[in-house]
Amino acid sequence: MIDISSIPNIPPALIYFAGAVLLPLFGKGRVRKIYLIILAALGLIGVAVLKSPAPGGWEFSVSGFELIFLYVDRLSLIMGYIFAIIGAAAIVYSLGVVKENGEFVCGLVYLGSALGAVFAGDLFTLYIFWEIMAFSSLGLIWYSRTERATNAGMRYILFHLFGGCALLAGIIINYMSTGAISMVPGESGIGHFIVESGIGYFLLLIGIGVNTAFIPLHTWLPDAYPKATIAGAVFMCVFTTKTGVYALARTFPGAELSLFGNGIPFVAYIGGVMCLYGVIFALLQNDVRKLLSYHIISQVGYMVAGVGIGTYIGINGGIAHVFNHILYKALLFMCMGSVIYATGRNNLTELGGLAKKMPVTMITCVIAALSISGVVGFNGYVSKGMVIHAAELSHMHILTLALMLGSVGTFLSFLKLTYFTFFRRNDEIEAREAPLFMLIPMSVTAFLCVAFGVYPKMLYEILPYREVALQYHAFAVGHTLSTLELLAMTAFMFFSLRILIMPHDRITYDIDYLYRKAGRGFIWFCEHPLARFAVGVERVVLRIADYFVMFGKNPLRGTRVMIDTVGVALLKPVIFVFNLVIQPVYKYYERDLEAVKMRPVEEMGKMSIGTGLVLILLFFALYLIAMLLHGWLA
Amino acid sequence: MNRKVLRGLLIIIASVVLVVSAMFVFVIHSHSEFFTGVLYGTIGALFFVVMAKILSLIQKEGKQDD
């Protein structure tokens, strides 16, 4: 028997980074597939054997900062478990669709850096992995090799660079005011990082908010995810936003804003807004992956709300929703990836009639849809209920209402997605079931969605506050009944009113419309007024440089030109006021200036080095005397 | 949308609103926790349908968003 406790703690990020480095050695055939499956298994084992608290050895002192590359507690462990599970599923899924090594490398580095971020013990280490995540995920968009993907990738990385800058500035400013960079909370909980109100606080929140897709910092998500590669979208839907929620749980759990003498848990309300906003825009979408992308915003809203409420049950609910959401959202992206792979179509208006042609994809997609909608017996029901329960217990009635309405909208749009993709009649469509490498991770993930829904205690055991979680009754009669009623009424309304929310070939404007307008305005400003100003500055600088060259050649002549130029410049504006007095002097300067300029620049006679030194010493002596006199007089 | 469908929809909406209102008035006061789902489900679905219709005003014809 292997004694697990004897296996040393290794940062899981290293496993995937090493895997990415070695990948090109295995070619592109069957050996590569075996290698990637072994790597996925190794990654899972690497996370499973991590011990909490982690023994030392991964702490480095850099310029006086203690950087902790591996910090293990219950929160980082649950994030690590789900990242490794779905990372393995995404790797196996990729085997069916990905051809190029580069795309695999981007996926592995992205997965590794996400794990590096959740096991980071300080904000600087978190920031390093945060940035690696942004650049590696960019590769997953650009490997689509379309113009749309290239443009969306540019917008994506611009947004994330802005967020990264804000995060780094926030970390530095907060460090200067509090001296805190360590995220190790000790025995008391998960999120006791010291954040002081002010600009640092705001910048930290903005930096984390970009990755978490706070409204209105969310536009990169529905813009970029639908344009990523089929496998790339599966990776992307998991890591970036969830790492943001993790960072939020470490830094801003239950954060309050003082308003009219009351502490408002504003992060929780940001979650409520995200929940409704995402659902409303998802309902309008025609592109299946864009619909799912808007649902990420909505579901992350539940997580942000849970963390923002800040109570033990709220944080448990938020983190449980991270875990469950990753399962069903990755499954949904896998299913829609299979549909796009099999049909070459991605719009609801072009799909339909796939239930019989792709039965495994249909069943797994329905399971994922029921999970995200919070149907009893599926995993989403447990965590969503926990967050709503936390809001109720904290007497946040508006938030409770928003979260419940979010459930209705979610079910409505997933009825729309599944109905128009699989069940609506479409005799024209030709498709075959997805390859086995795609179906295996889909089936396993679907099984996990049901397993954690039927037996939620498995999840409670690994939540940050285990004892509180075990006291929560997911299947209480009142809650179960009202959820079933809510979903039944939503289904009834969908089939009654589905004509009103039929998919159409239409483009929906989001806030990014304003960003694009502002961007074009900024480019115009750079190309016209700013460019003209730059040309003007260049001319002035060149004239000054010319003058210095002339002065260097003949200082006497240069001084004379300077005096004449200043004289002309000073007298010209007042010449009309004191015509009789000023005009002769002005004319003199003007004539002299023209005369000097007309003469060729003759170089001054050269002096010996000794004479030059005497002159310099004389100058310094005069300067010294002036300084001494100044000091003496003062 | 033709008139028949519209009329049907109106009848359905009206009946649902009536049933929900009746339930709200006569039953919910005594057993509210068992009927909140019906209420939220109906109101929520109507809310989203109306919001989708309103937001469709800012949509434009086309397949790609850039």
- Whether residue A147 lies within 8 A of chain B, CB to CB, comes out as no
Is residue A232 over pLDDT 70? yes
The CA-CA-CA angle for residues B27, B33, B39, to 5°, reads 70
Q: What is the mean pLDDT of residues A276-298?
A: 94
Does residue A160 have a pLDDT over 70?
yes
Q: Tell me if chain B has a CB within 8 Å of the CB of A151.
A: yes
pLDDT category at A189 given cuts 50, 70, 90 is low
Residue A557 CB contacts under 8 Å (≥ 6 apart), including other chains: A550, A596, A599, A601
Q: For position A192, what pLDDT does the model report? A: 61
The string of pLDDT tens digits covering residues A540-561 is 999 889 888 877 778 788 888 8
Q: Does A506 touch chain B (CB under 8 A)?
A: yes
Report the C-alpha gap between A358 and A335 in whole angstroms: 10
Q: Do B56 and A284 touch (CB under 8 A)?
A: yes
Cβ pairs A/B, distance under 8 A: 128
Taking CA atoms, A341 is separated from A48, A101, B33, in Å, by 33, 19, 45
Asked if B51's CB is within 8 angstroms of A280's CB, the reply is yes
Residue showing tokens 């004694």: A3
Residue B65 predicted with pLDDT over 70:
no
Task: State yes or no: pLDDT of A216 exceeds 80.
Answer: yes
CA dist list (Å): B20 to A260, B12, B17, B41: 38, 12, 5, 10
Q: What is the pLDDT of residue A248?
A: 93
Which residue did the predictor score with more confidence, A34 or A8? A34
pLDDT grade for A327, boundaries at 50, 70 and 90: very high
pLDDT tens for A574-629 read: 877 777 778 888 888 889 888 888 887 676 667 788 888 888 999 999 999 999 98
Evaluate if residue B66 carries a pLDDT over 60: no
**Cβ within 8 Å, pair A481-B16:** no
pLDDT of residue A301: 96
- Over residues A317-331, mean pLDDT: 96
Of A505, A217, A449, nearest to A334 by C-alpha is A449
Supply the mean pLDDT for chain A.
Answer: 90
Residue A285 has pLDDT above 80, yes or no: yes
Provide the sign of the torsion angle of the four alpha carbons A532, A538, A541, A542, taken in this order.
negative
Listed by start position, the domains of chain B span 3-58
Q: Is residue B24 within 8 angstroms of chain A, CB to CB?
A: no
Chain B CB contacts of A482 under 8 Å are 33-37, 40
- B49 with A404: Cβ contact below 8 A: no
Distance of alpha carbon A154 from alpha carbon A515, whole angstroms: 14
Interval A476-496 mean pLDDT: 88
The verdict on a CB contact (< 8 Å) between A507 and B33 is no
Closest Cβ–Cβ partner in B33, B52, B65 for A482? B33
> What pLDDT, on a 0 to 100 scale, did the predictor assign at position A509?
84
**Least reliable range by pLDDT among A18-22, A630-634, B50-54:** A630-634
Q: How confident is the model at residue B27 (pLDDT cuts 50, 70, 90)?
A: low
**Which of B36, B52, B66 lies nearest to residue A148, judging by beta carbons?**
B66
pTM listed for this prediction: 0.83
Place of tokens 């010209």: A572
Q: What is the pLDDT of residues A93-139, one digit of tens each?
A: 999 899 899 999 999 999 999 999 999 989 999 999 999 999 999 99
Contact B45 A490 (CB under 8 A): yes
Residue A221 has pLDDT above 60, yes or no: yes
pLDDT of residue A263: 82
Does residue A367 carry a pLDDT above 80?
yes
Query: For position A622, what pLDDT does the model report?
Result: 93
C-alpha distance from B55 to closest chain A C-alpha (Å): 8
Domain boundaries, chain A: 260-507, 511-552
Residue B18 confidence class, pLDDT cut points 50, 70, 90? low
Averaged pLDDT for residues A519-536: 94
From chain A, the residues in CB contact with B51 under 8 A are 280, 283
What's the rounded Cα separation, in Å, for the pair A82 and A270?
25
Q: Give the chain B residue whose CA is nearest to the CA of A492.
A: B42
> In A, which residues are within 8 Å of B60 by CB distance?
506-507, 509
pLDDT reading at B40 higher than 70: yes
**Does residue A263 contact residue A257 with C-beta atoms inside 8 Å?**
yes
- Please give the pLDDT value at position A497: 83
